[in-house]
Amino acid sequence: MSSSLKDKKTLVVVVGPTAVGKTATAILLAQHFNTEIISADSRQFYREMNIGTAKPDAEELAAASHHFINSHSIEEEYSAGDFERDALQLLEELFKTKDVVIMVGGSGLFVRAVCEGLNDLPKAPEGVRDALNKTFKEQGLEPLKARLKAIDPQYYAIADIENPQRVIRALEVFEATGKPISFYQKKDLNKRPFDIVTIGLNMDREKLYERINMRVDKMMEAGLLDEVKSLSAYRQNPAMLTVGYSEIFDYLDGSISLQEAVDNIKQNSRRYAKRQITWFKKYGNTNWFEPLQLSEILQFISNM
């Protein structure tokens, strides 16, 4: 590691699409730098969501110290702003004894929260989210997307508009304030007191899609259906409106067969992976590698 890295603390951020191998790469980096890992996956916080979130297994958790895995209950609301506050506090502690800390995750908004900071967005009045969720459940995402495009074309152009959580949150802000979410976007990024190196992982598209399909099959074998059933009481929670959970709820509602639900999870996971790649290609200074190019990644980091 070069002297420039030693002079200033460094956050190495590992990003990329679902199933690409971020966890394995992050663990190898953590072991190399004798450091710890912060998870920036917006669903792995929740203790009750295990199979559908592809959490690191016991062996992986033992291989390096992880933070923000199983840290919260699905009953708690935990926003990107909450994560920004808590992760920065943790980094301050970790950097007292570590020169490098690894952060890993595919949730672009949560990564951005730590690296740049987020806007302090107003909360919507009681009932607004329930009404929007009801529209989503009964009519799907399209009418909500159309409304967002009409009220905030600027945000619509850059947002992950296939993500129900993002669309609903943006509409909530408008309902609460009468102003579009883009009005609240920060013009100046927060300068962090540490260096940030962003490592993007990607691979051949067909190979990635094959890995995604295999992962979904393994999730079903591991009991995803029973996990979703056990979470029925929380199905209106934003974390439940995501890939792997919403499709199983469609099956439980009787609107599709179990095989259709599994096929939909695979298809939606592939679409999500594509959106993640697009997001991280547009985001900041992401430097791209294959998942197992550890020596090349380490060489790149040491040259920073």
- Local structure of 184: helix, strand or coil: helix
Q: What are phi and psi of 101, to 5 degrees?
A: -125, 145
pLDDT at residue number 285:
86
208 vs 186: CA distance, rounded Å = 34
CA–CA gap between residue 188 and residue 207 (Å, rounded): 39
How many Cβ atoms from other residues are within 10 Å of residue 19's Cβ? 22
Question: What is the per-residue pLDDT for 162?
Answer: 79
By CB atoms closer than 10 A (0-12, 13-18, 19+), residue 293 is middle
The size of the chain, in residues, is: 304
Q: Residue 292: left (phi > 0), alpha (psi -120 to 50), or beta?
A: alpha
Provide the pairing of β-strand 10-15 with 66-67: unpaired
Residues 6 or more apart whose CB falls under 8 angstroms from that of 83 comprise 40, 42, 45, 68, 110, 113, 114
| CB atoms near residue 202 (< 10 Å) | 20
Per-residue model confidence (pLDDT) at position 188? 58
pLDDT digits (tens, 9 = 90+) for 111-142: 999 998 877 777 777 788 888 988 988 898 89
Relative to beta strand 10-15, strand 286-289 is unpaired
Which SS3 state, helix, strand or coil, does residue 208 take?
helix
- For residues 39 and 224, the answer to whether their CB atoms sit within 8 Å is no
Please determine whether the domains at 3-118+194-217+276-302 and 128-184 fall in the same fold group of CATH: no
pLDDT at 5: 46
* Nearest-angstrom CA–CA distance, 55 and 22: 11
Domain ranges of the chain: 3-118+194-217+276-302, 128-184
Q: Rounded to two decimals, what is the model's pTM?
A: 0.85
Contact criterion met (CB below 8 Å) for 104 and 23: yes
Q: What pLDDT does residue 7 have? A: 67
The CATH topology of domain 128-184 is Histone, subunit A (1.10.20)
Fold of 3-118+194-217+276-302: Rossmann fold (3.40.50)
Q: Which residues of 143-167 are buried (b: 16+ CB within 10 A; e: fewer)?
A: ebbebbeebbeebbeebbbebbbbb
Predicted local confidence at residue 189, as pLDDT: 60
Amino acid letter, residue 220: M
Closest to 238 measured CA to CA, from 133, 118, 81:
133
Query: Which region holds residue 266: left if phi is over 0, alpha if psi is between -120 and 50, else beta?
Result: alpha
Report d(CA 217, CA 125) in Å as an integer. 40
| CA 171-130-107 angle, 5° bins | 60
User: Cα–Cα distance between 244 and 54 in angstroms, integer?
Assistant: 10
Ordered per-residue pLDDT tens for the chain, 304 residues: 443 445 689 999 999 999 999 999 999 999 999 999 999 999 999 999 999 999 999 999 999 999 999 999 999 888 888 999 999 999 999 999 999 999 999 898 899 999 988 777 777 777 888 889 889 888 988 999 999 999 999 888 877 777 888 898 899 889 888 888 888 766 556 689 999 999 999 999 999 999 999 999 999 999 999 999 999 999 888 888 889 999 999 999 999 999 999 999 999 999 999 989 988 988 768 999 999 899 999 999 998 7
The predicted structure's pLDDT at residue 1: 44
